[in-house]
Amino acid sequence: MGPGPSDVAPSVLRAMSQPLVGHLDPVFVKMMEEIKAMLRAVFRTKNDLTFPISGTGSAGMEFCCVNLIEPGDEVIIGVNGVFGTRMCDVAERCGAKVTKVEAPWGRIIEPRQIADALKQTPHPKFVAIVHAETSTGALTPVAEISQLAHAAGALFLLDTVTSLAGCPVAIDEWQVDAVYSGTQKCLSAPPGLSPVSLSPQALEVARSRRKKVQSWYLDVNLLSSYWGQERVYHHTAPISMNYGLHEALRLVLLEGLEARWQRHEQNHLALKAGLAEMGLSIVSQEGHQLWQLNAVGVPEGVDELAVRKQLLADYNIEIGAGLGPLKGKIWRVGLMGATSQRENVDKVLGALRAILKK
Ligand SMILES: Cc1ncc(COP(=O)(O)O)c(C=O)c1O
């Protein structure tokens, strides 16, 4: 019940233990097409270029940055936690001049902050935000920020590592040009793949670069020859991971996206109500709290590490600690994907109650 990896369904684990085929085997090629189609459904996009990068969520972040940025480009990035901070580092390593739009950890990035930044940096290559900040539990609304980016002629980039399949994500409706996610949060597959999608506009930017993409491994021009119809060998795809993702996506769509979001919302509300009965609260911005990651304030005088250790030792429950400025101040209780169950909410509430009483 931490910030991911989440629990994985037995059928996902079974899928991953199936015998291997080659990465150009017709059976695998058919499965690649099914994965792409299911990812489009989950991202809610028609983008042709939608596939899983071989690597964790950070590889997806790097994929978007390295393909879109050329040295000297200006970009605007919202920073309200660990992952916006990381994106600035990645973008700077690609040679971008980064304008940071900062909000206190736990709060969202406001559209007017992006509008202000666009006055200072009127022609950025892209504007980027983290939809669901796993380090703080805040969900930044997307549509208005996307509109501001496009009005300035910029692309719009979105991190959906924690949001995808746990709360509404609508890539085409929100006009997101570049998006990445991860398998180990609300998709409930093991860590190791990063689903990505590029709009035709973003793909055109990547195709018409002045210089080659610095990273050979993450170059979309090469990757799309393997994941597209040409099937040109690029790297040996992690076969078993793709089996796992295929089954995880099948389960997501079998449940239905709306039903899955609703399950996440209901379990979050049950946790929130139970915490309130104990005098505990979720500290991220009211009205913008994530359903899948709950930032619980540590009460005055309580040793947060001792509580987490006891939860693990006595109850076999793992929750996460606060990071950066929130270190020692919050616990991060994940209710992601298969972990988001009423039974788990009741277990963690009961265990916390008993430990805090002691
Ligand atoms: C919002 C967000 N972005 C990016 C990442 C990086 O993903 P990974 O750890 O899979 O590389 C994470 C990981 O927790 C995340 O929560």
134 CB within 6 A, ligand 1: yes
d(CA 207, CA 200) in angstroms, rounded, equals 10
d(CA 198, CA 259) in angstroms, rounded, equals 26
pTM above 0.95?
yes
323 CB within 6 A, ligand 1: no
63 CB within 6 A, ligand 1: no
The whole-number pLDDT of residue 129 equals 98
What residues does 259 pair with on adjacent strands? none
The whole-number pLDDT of residue 167 equals 98
- Closest atom of ligand 1 to 134 CA is 16
191 CB within 6 A, ligand 1: yes
Q: Dihedral, CA atoms, 323, 325, 327, 332, nearest 10 degrees? A: -60
d(CA 264, CA 338) in angstroms, rounded, equals 10
187 CB within 6 A, ligand 1: no
Distance 182 CA to ligand 1 centre (A): 7
Phi, psi at 4, each rounded to 5°? 100, 145
Q: Which residue has the tokens 């899983």?
A: 52
- Closest atom of ligand 1 to 61 CA is 4
62 CB within 6 A, ligand 1: no
The whole-number pLDDT of residue 119 equals 98
Low-confidence ranges of the chain (pLDDT < 70): none
Distance 19 CA to ligand 1 centre (A): 29
Q: 284 near 295, Cβ under 8 Å?
A: yes
The whole-number pLDDT of residue 350 equals 98
The whole-number pLDDT of residue 85 equals 98
162 CB within 6 A, ligand 1: yes
Distance 85 CA to ligand 1 centre (A): 12
Q: Quote the tokens at residue 14.
A: 């079974």
Segment 276-296, tens digit of pLDDT: 999 999 999 999 999 999 999
Q: 70 near 93, Cβ under 8 Å?
A: no
Distance 138 CA to ligand 1 centre (A): 14
Of 39, 72, 63, 320, the residue nearest 203 (C-alpha): 63
83 CB within 6 A, ligand 1: yes
Tell me which of 162, 194, 218 to substitute to probe ligand 1's pocket, judged by most ligand atoms within 8 Å of the beta carbon.
162
Protein residue with its CA nearest to atom 16 in ligand 1: 134
